Structure 1
Amino acid sequence: MPTHHFLAFDLGASSGRAILGTLNNAKLELTEIHRFTNQMQRINGHYFWNIFSLFQELKTGLTKCVREFGVQPESIAVDTWGVDFVHLDKNGMILSLPYAYRDSRTNTAMEDLFKLVPKDEVYRQTGIQFMQFNSLFQLYSMVKTNAPLLGITDRILFTPDALNYLFSGEAKTEFTIASTSQMLVPGQCEWQKKLISKAGVPTNILGEIIQAGQQIGLLQSDIAEETGSEQIPVVAVGGHDTASAIASVPAVDDNFAYISSGTWSIFGIEAQEPIISDKTLELNFTNEGGVEGTTRFLKNIMGMWLIQECRRTWASKKEYSWPEMVELAKTVEPFRFIIDPDDSCFLNPGNMPDAIANWCEKSGQGRPESHAEVIRCIYDSLALKYRQVLDEIRQVSAKNIDRIHVIGGGCNNDFLNQITADVCELPVWAGPTEATATGNILMQAKALGVVKSLAEIRQIVRESFQQKRFNPSLDKSWQTAYEKFTKISV
């Protein structure tokens, strides 16, 4: 196999990267070309993403790849977080900065919509986990407030689609990112127009949906000139970062669950068809689109956001490294304090340590006073939440699960990996760290015909990146805490 080069743009809620993938002899090597920060912009009391700044950073990444690293990639592709979108006018111009999903304008949107369309009907038509920031509720909040922006919108594009559009001039909506919206027919590239219309959202603003692994168009000539690149293909990969990450799970069969561990912890299984029932509605599971027609049956869990926000809050007095925080957690009693990581009070509280302490106090546990106790509370609570979701998956799916693959940046946390193995009573395989960029790159390779299938992608991942195994211990001290966890609330 000749050497191939692909450039992945992987954007998260706190940072973004341009990662060069070099594929040679069925092995992939990654090189970080460019890294930049990303954060919500607060303007007049609302939170937005600076889509123009993000696009400039991506162009900088392409420029560095070509001019500083001397590599001309064969294609580029973008993946990002889900649900958020930009508005285009009839001339194809972006009308405003896109709202960020943590913005408060959707606080009552779910309950308001359920007055028009019953909750169970919304779920059965979409199969998507209810979260107040899903695109459906973002758009409905605009309908409720008669937002002028919606009235002049000709088309919406989800964040990765919008960036692909700025690169290529072609407005396409990729399936996996669209599936996060709660506006698709489950498992299909089809808008659920009856539901969307009931919400008062104009369906004409929704465009063509394409599958991951297709070429969108070529890099526009002015951007090619600006960056020094050739007019290479712009590819639709798993535009939702989790879809790209799951594509790179280094599994040899399908008897696995996964945790894509980053700002969010995404816990789920890969299914061949959506799983929708009264029980999955009750348990609030989601059926998001995956690559090659698969379904990501999962739950979104408030993940490293909890620890990231604590670190940010404490930074004015003490700047902790991530290893320092882990070592602190080891110094205090396990399972002394636990929280429900998915309580809405943790979505964007401003002061996360106070929010955690207040939750513990309201639930009758007292208040964690030290930083070590807060950190330990977060790690223990995440592991217990993982076990709860695993038990729930086993209630609604007959799939055999004999291991958990942890991928993404959080897979480097050996401490949490071990707690997870212990509490879930399954071996945990950690790696690769750059799962999302890896899946992005290898789906580009598939789009260009360099690799043929998802199975081949996963074989390349296994041969290219080391994994670390964590076996469950015989210590069962977590069991009492788990019983408490399943009942505790505020």
Structure 2
Amino acid sequence: MSAEGQGSRHVAVDLGASSGRVALGTVQGGRLSVEILHRFPNGGVPVRGGLYWDVLGLWREILHGLRLASGRGPVASVGVNSWAVDYGLLDDGGELLGGVHHYRSARLGGVMERVRARLGDGTIYGATGIQFLPFNTLYQLAAEPPERLARARTLLMVPDLLHFWLCGARVTERTNASTTQLFEPRTGEWAPSLLEALNLPTHFLPPIALPGTDLGELSPEVVRETGLHGTRVIAPATHDTASAVAAVPAAAGETGWAYVSSGTWSLVGVETPGPVLTDAACAANLTNEAGVNGTTRLLKNVMGLWIVQECRRAWGNPDFAALYEGAGNVPAGGPLIDPDDARFLPPGLDMPARVQASCAQTGQPVPRTPAEIVRCVLESLAHRTADVLEQLEAVQGQPIRTVHVVGGGAQNGLLNRRVADLSGRTVVAGPVEATLMGNLLVQAEASGSVPRGSVREVVRASGALTTFPPGGPVPAGERERFRELTVRRRADEVVSQD
């Protein structure tokens, strides 16, 4: 495969909470072109009161995508990224023990609160620097039957499990390990003391690999199934947000920027040279997750477009563009919700009713039409994003002037315009396919297809960006009204002073 001819080809498998893609990336002439070969749905499967991921179905779709890639010619490497916190447990022979639980499973009710009461927030945050979220891997393991943990020999996060099936490597890539609340961000190693304090085993924690690690060739079985020969498995930044942040198109030497990885979740953060484990970071419930090239992603998980997605499902899946167009015709200054309210976390066709109930309970006008409900949600997401940007600015002590919005939400002009207006900062939207681009370019960098340290330069050269300057209308008292709403729900975020 010559650089002058076909360029360097790499395959990214990008798994999201609602869908997955297999994409072929070609690096040539300092630019990256991305072709999505295969799309497929994803989501939780309810079984006997539990909620699971259909990992075998995902594997079938991945193999199909790889077969399509093999028809395009030689492929240098393949890598998988996905959401965080969920895992599979393997026995001695590498067989999967039971299913892979979904992070929205009802099995986690009350577990985080019990663990925090037992260990203390200072101990947990001091060891891991991770935001307290009820679905973190630490709490999932605390919810496991002891006999299942005793039988387990290896714990692999979802993308690491798929890498194991691709090539046999039993490792956890660093960016995903850092989301578990079992990872020590200062040392880059596991923090087993938390499991030990809960009388849980630690023997199943695998070695940690850096983004860009070559995990080996595809197994003979996968080669037979796909027709790919000589293809390496290279771990990208396997946490989808880490891959997206790797593709933030910040210029070399640019300072004062933050990012929003906008999709089902909104990950609002800044890139720092190391973890920030101060009392202020703990009080703000910020998370320190690993990035590429030894960086830290200081961020907060914020409910993203999930609420709109579930409302849309309840309405029979109308076109997103039509929903957003309708919302754009609803004036600002209407009802608001706290999008991080736990009531919005579980799936359900009653999501529109939940939005309406929240507005009614806070004494606001109740949105009735889909346009009014979507405007309420988007306006609230923009307010929440603006609040987190202020927290990040205060905790890191550096001004934030520009907000890079990447991912699917980069297409949502109404949301991005309102983030600019409510935060008073310039929003630069794009690329939409940041996660795929970050995945592919980390592989390409590891393969020598692009020079070290040039990933963001390639991203900037590979597509157009849209800028939203601030200056739109913000009704008087609007920001204060939103903050009053959120104060009512902070009991689960307040760090104990005991």
> TM-score per shorter chain, which class?
over 0.9
Selected match of 2:478 from 477, 481, 484: 481
Structure 1: segments with no counterpart, 5+ residues: none
Amino acid at match of 2:234: V
Whether 1:15 aligns to 2:19 is yes
Distance 1:245 1:8 in 2: 13
Distance 1:98 1:124 in 2: 29
Give secondary structure in 1 for the equivalent of 2:388.
Answer: helix
Distance 1:274 1:335 in 2: 38
Alpha-carbon displacement from aligned partner over 1:175-200 (angstroms, at most 9, x marks no partner): 00000100011243211111121122
Selected match of 2:68 from 64, 69, 77: 64
Alpha-carbon displacement from aligned partner over 1:271-326 (angstroms, at most 9, x marks no partner): 111111222111110000101100000011110101000000111xxx42111111
CA RMSD of aligned residues (A): 1.2
Selected match of 2:91 from 89, 104, 113: 89
Map of 1:114-193 to 2, 5 A cutoff? 114-142=116-144, 146-193=145-192
Amino acid at match of 2:426: P
Instruction: Give, in angstroms, the shift of residue 56 of structure 1.
Output: 1.2
Distance 2:187 2:427 in 1: 32
- The corresponding residue for 1:347 is 345
- Tell me which moved more, 192-201 or 34-43: 192-201
- The corresponding residue for 1:104 is 106
Distance 1:270 1:173 in 2: 22
- The corresponding residue for 2:495 is none
Give secondary structure in 2 for the equivalent of 1:276.
Answer: coil
Selected match of 2:40 from 32, 36, 39: 36
Structure 2: segments with no counterpart, 5+ residues: 490-498
Whether 1:329 aligns to 2:327 is yes
Distance 1:405 1:201 in 2: 40
Alpha-carbon displacement from aligned partner over 1:239-261 (angstroms, at most 9, x marks no partner): 00000000000001242100001
Map of 1:221-240 to 2, 5 A cutoff? 221-240=220-239
Distance 1:24 1:349 in 2: 42
- The corresponding residue for 2:276 is 275
Map of 1:400-479 to 2, 5 A cutoff? 400-454=399-453, 456-473=454-471, 475-477=473-475, 479=476
Distance 2:233 2:175 in 1: 17
Instruction: Give, in angstroms, the shift of residue 453 of structure 1.
Output: 2.8
Instruction: Give, in angstroms, the shift of residue 349 of structure 1.
Output: 4.7
Amino acid at match of 2:25: G
Distance 1:325 1:24 in 2: 38
Distance 2:466 2:125 in 1: 38
Q: Is the 8 A contact 2:389 2:400 kept in 1?
A: no
Distance 1:33 1:340 in 2: 38
Distance 2:362 2:122 in 1: 30
Q: Is the 8 A contact 1:349 1:355 kept in 2?
A: no
- The corresponding residue for 1:375 is 374
Give secondary structure in 1 for the equivalent of 2:484.
Answer: coil
Instruction: Give, in angstroms, the shift of residue 367 of structure 1.
Output: 2.1
Instruction: Give, in angstroms, the shift of residue 333 of structure 1.
Output: 2.9
Instruction: Give, in angstroms, the shift of residue 474 of structure 1.
Output: 5.0
Instruction: Give, in angstroms, the shift of residue 136 of structure 1.
Output: 0.3
Distance 2:249 2:234 in 1: 23
Distance 1:414 1:240 in 2: 26
- Tell me which moved more, 324-333 or 299-308: 324-333
Alpha-carbon displacement from aligned partner over 1:368-426 (angstroms, at most 9, x marks no partner): 22222111100100110011001111111122321010000110011111111111111
- The corresponding residue for 2:496 is none
Give secondary structure in 2 for the equivalent of 1:181.
Answer: coil
Instruction: Give, in angstroms, the shift of residue 480 of structure 1.
Output: 1.4
Alpha-carbon displacement from aligned partner over 1:32-65 (angstroms, at most 9, x marks no partner): 1111001111000110011111111111101011
Whether 1:301 aligns to 2:302 is yes
Instruction: Give, in angstroms, the shift of residue 471 of structure 1.
Output: 0.8
Q: Is the 8 A contact 2:30 2:458 kept in 1?
A: yes
Instruction: Give, in angstroms, the shift of residue 84 of structure 1.
Output: 0.1
Map of 1:192-207 to 2, 5 A cutoff? 192-207=191-206
Amino acid at match of 1:130: F
- The corresponding residue for 1:5 is 9
Instruction: Give, in angstroms, the shift of residue 147 of structure 1.
Output: 4.3
Distance 2:194 2:97 in 1: 26
Distance 2:187 2:205 in 1: 15
Distance 1:381 1:195 in 2: 35
Amino acid at match of 1:310: C
- Tell me which moved more, 247-256 or 173-182: 247-256
Instruction: Give, in angstroms, the shift of residue 71 of structure 1.
Output: 2.3
Alpha-carbon displacement from aligned partner over 1:336-368 (angstroms, at most 9, x marks no partner): 110111111100151111111111111121422
Q: TM-score, normalised by structure 2?
A: 0.94
Give secondary structure in 1 for the equivalent of 2:89.
Answer: strand
Amino acid at match of 1:59: L
| Number of residues of Structure 1 aligned to a counterpart in Structure 2 | 480
Amino acid at match of 1:298: L
Distance 2:128 2:333 in 1: 37
Give secondary structure in 1 for the equivalent of 2:80.
Answer: strand
Q: TM-score, normalised by structure 1?
A: 0.96
Alpha-carbon displacement from aligned partner over 1:93-138 (angstroms, at most 9, x marks no partner): 1112200000011111111112320012101110000000000000
Give secondary structure in 2 for the equivalent of 1:299.
Answer: strand
Q: Is the 8 A contact 1:251 1:458 kept in 2?
A: yes
- Tell me which moved more, 275-284 or 437-446: 275-284
- The corresponding residue for 1:249 is 248
- The corresponding residue for 2:53 is 49
Amino acid at match of 1:139: L
Whether 1:338 aligns to 2:342 is no
- Tell me which moved more, 182-191 or 167-176: 182-191
Q: Is the 8 A contact 1:187 1:288 kept in 2?
A: no
Distance 1:281 1:236 in 2: 30
- The corresponding residue for 2:218 is 219
- The corresponding residue for 1:313 is 314
Distance 1:374 1:175 in 2: 39
